[in-house]
Amino acid sequence: MKIDWSGVNKKNVLRGSIAGLVAILLAVGFAYAWSGYRALVYENQVTREGVEALQVSLKEARDKLANARAENAHLTGQNEDLSTSLRSEQQKTGELQYSIQQQINQISGTVGVLDKLSKTDSELLAKYSKVYFLNENYAPPSVLNIDSKYSSDPKKTQQILVQVLPFLNRMLQDASAQGMELKVVSAYRSFADQAAVKTGYKITYGSGANRFSADQGYSEHQLGTTVDLLNASSTVLTTKFESTSAYKWLNENAYKYGFVLSYPKNNSYYIFEPWHWRFVGVALATDLHNQGKYFYEMSQRDIDNYLVKIFD
């Protein structure tokens, strides 16, 4: 059969075909969009469930963290309690010992019995090194508060070994009388105190050899015989202290009160710490001063000879 196309407008046929095609395309597109939408809704739901699950585990993690923090705070609190009670015990013993010693000194006019006993502690004149630190359990039997007027931060209580306090007081009084206002930045530091300070030192000194240097200084503070001193106008431990008149005064006079600079400039042993003064007794400090030597340069055997007269 032959179709007679003559009456048919070819343009109309073409238009109709295009319209049909467009309709089909629209339908397919709509179906595709609809399935896409459904998939999106489903996906969204899955995502929402995932988010909810994540939120739950996040909350659990947060709760765990909060618990851990609370536990930690509790432990820290306990530690602080222990540290505080140790401090107050040391302080009480110190006051008692100090008053007994005063009485004995008054009666006999000579060095007290308790004073002699304290001389048996060989740590008081021990040299600390890379391999020899003061035991972390070491605590001086008795310490006393340093008068807050000598503290660089009056709100912070500084303590020192009971037998050393009179020497320190005399030195600070005499310095003040000569126009040098010396302030104690740090004195006795327990092992626990030091652990806290160490973080700060790491930042200041870095690592390696310097880190060791800082550790070495800690032992002397833990002994209770060492003070970090600065002039009244500064609070930061810096080698700039070297150029002050207060440092000059200490260099010329501290030995008279039994204090020596543990780590002088250009020493082969340790970094220079112009603020760090250790009590070694007047006899040893004077001999070191006269010989132009420093403590760590001397042999431990020679140093030990001075132990018996450390508080004379």
Nearest-approach distance from CB 226 to Zn ion, in angstroms = 6
Nearer to Zn ion, 97 or 185 (CB): 185
Contact mark string toward Zn ion, 58..97, x via CB under 5 A: ----------------------------------------
Cα distances from 7 to residues 14, 19, 286, in angstroms, run 14, 21, 134
Q: At what angle do helices 209-223 and 191-205 cross, to 10 degrees?
A: 150
Cα distances from 161 to residues 92, 150, 156, 213, in angstroms, run 12, 16, 17, 23
Contact mark string toward Zn ion, 108..137, x via CB under 5 A: ------------------------------
Q: How many CA atoms lie within 13 A of 58 on its CB side?
A: 6
CA dist 312 and 310 (Å) reads 6
What token pair was written down for 17?
């075909």
CA dist 43 and 175 (Å) reads 80
Nearest-approach distance from CB 278 to Zn ion, in angstroms = 8
Q: Is 160 in the site for Zn ion (CB under 5 A)?
A: no
Q: At what angle do helices 191-205 and 10-108 cross, to 10 degrees?
A: 130
Looking at 80-88, 104-112, 202-210, 272-280, which segment touches Zn ion (CB under 5 A)?
272-280
- Binds Zn ion (CB under 5 A): choice among 159, 175, 225, 228: 228
Q: Is 229 in the site for Zn ion (CB under 5 A)?
A: no
Q: Are 296 and 269 in contact (CB under 8 A)?
A: yes
Nearest-approach distance from CB 252 to Zn ion, in angstroms = 20
Q: Shortest Cβ contact with Zn ion: which residue?
A: 276
SS3 (DSSP) at 210: helix
Nearest-approach distance from CB 262 to Zn ion, in angstroms = 8
Alpha helices in 109-158 (DSSP H): 113-118
What token pair was written down for 118?
């304290």
Nearer to Zn ion, 115 or 228 (CB): 228
Longest CA–CA separation in the chain, Å: 149
Nearer to Zn ion, 90 or 225 (CB): 225
Nearest-approach distance from CB 108 to Zn ion, in angstroms = 35
Nearest-approach distance from CB 225 to Zn ion, in angstroms = 11
Q: Is 276 in the site for Zn ion (CB under 5 A)?
A: yes
- Where does this chain bind Zn ion (CB under 5 A)? 217, 228, 276
